[in-house]
């Protein structure tokens, strides 16, 4: 029987690429996103998949996904928490409801789906959760709450990876930098910076799945971003803050 992977945010970007590569690896798929037409088109492209249409900022819609993850008759072997988005503007200038919705998707959804998925996986002695985070979680910067949410996701994943050692279940945070997807254009940012800093989605996902199979708690694709993460840990905090402010202002 084929293993099953549930991928959130599967209608575009890294989510679509995870679905493509996991399907090629022999996984049956449960695809989750708000855009039913895109999900169905992806399911057809992959030769069939289960489609769950859900706005993960809505607790009622999210409960449908939680129920699917706890269905003992149809176990999910791999949860990919990929759904997430950024918001334009500074924290104090962004509408409170917009900030709250962002938090629901980027933080609360990861917490809840991971929490409901893990007990069944632990009981079966196999499975895992791959949480899509970001290099932004290692760096203070301007903007609203994106980086703060990703810092939570990365730390939660690292903590769980340690706690679950020896259970047959693994949790990993994927922390990419700039990726060639629709992410930036959706909240009004153009692609800036050198071309070599922009990664292709297929390379990011391939690296993530390789690192996950190796049991790594954190995956940082691309040497540039590995260096940035290392520098953020070693450099004086005042310098890190100054560079983060300069970088953020350079992105617009």
Q: How many domains does the chain have?
A: 1
Please name the helix (run of DSSP H) or strand (run of DSSP E) that holds residue 6, with its range, or none: strand 4-8
Determine the Cα–Cα distance for residues 214 and 200; give it in Å rounded to an integer: 22
Q: Who's near 197: CB < 8 A, 6+ residues apart?
A: 177, 178, 224
Cα–Cα distance for residue pair 242/135, rounded to 1 Å: 17
Domain of 240 in residue numbering reads as 4-251
Report pLDDT digits (tens) over 127-170.
Answer: 999 999 999 888 877 677 899 999 999 999 999 999 999 999 99
Query: What's residue 69's pLDDT?
Result: 98
Predicted local confidence at residue 250, as pLDDT: 34
Query: pLDDT of 71-97, one tens digit each?
Result: 999 999 999 999 999 888 889 999 999
CATH number where 162 lies: 3.40.50.720
- Note the pLDDT of residue 1: 82
Residues of the chain where predicted confidence (pLDDT) is lower than 70: 142, 182-197, 235-252
**Residues noted as catalytic:** 146
């Amino acid at each position: 029987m084929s293993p099953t992977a549930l991928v959130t945010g599967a209608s575009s970007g890294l989510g679509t690429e995870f679905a493509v590569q996991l399907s090629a690896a022999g996984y049956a798929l449960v695809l989750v996103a708000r855009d039913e037409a895109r999900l169905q088109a992806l399911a057809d492209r992959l030769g069939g998949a289960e489609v769950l249409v859900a706005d993960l900022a809505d607790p009622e819609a999210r409960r449908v996904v939680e129920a699917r993850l706890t269905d003992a008759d149809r176990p999910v072997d791999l949860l990919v928490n990929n759904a997430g988005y950024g918001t334009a503007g500074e924290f104090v200038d962004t509408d409170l409801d917009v900030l709250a919705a962002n938090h629901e998707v980027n933080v609360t959804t990861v917490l809840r789906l991971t929490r409901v998925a893990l007990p069944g996986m632990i009981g079966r002695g196999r499975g895992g959760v791959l949480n899509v985070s970001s290099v932004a979680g290692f760096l203070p910067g301007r903007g609203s709450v994106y980086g703060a949410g990703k810092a939570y996701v990365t730390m939660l994943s690292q903590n769980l990876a340690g706690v679950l050692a020896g259970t047959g279940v693994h949790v990993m945070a994927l922390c990419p930098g700039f990726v060639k997807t629709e992410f930036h254009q959706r909240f009004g940012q153009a692609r800036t910076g050198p071309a070599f800093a922009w990664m292709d989605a297929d390379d990011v996902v391939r690296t993530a799945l390789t690192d996950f199979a190796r049991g790594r708690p954190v995956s940082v694709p691309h040497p540039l971003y590995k260096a940035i993460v290392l520098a953020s840990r070693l450099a004086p905090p005042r310098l890190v803050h100054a560079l983060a402010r300069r970088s953020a202002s350079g992105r617009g």
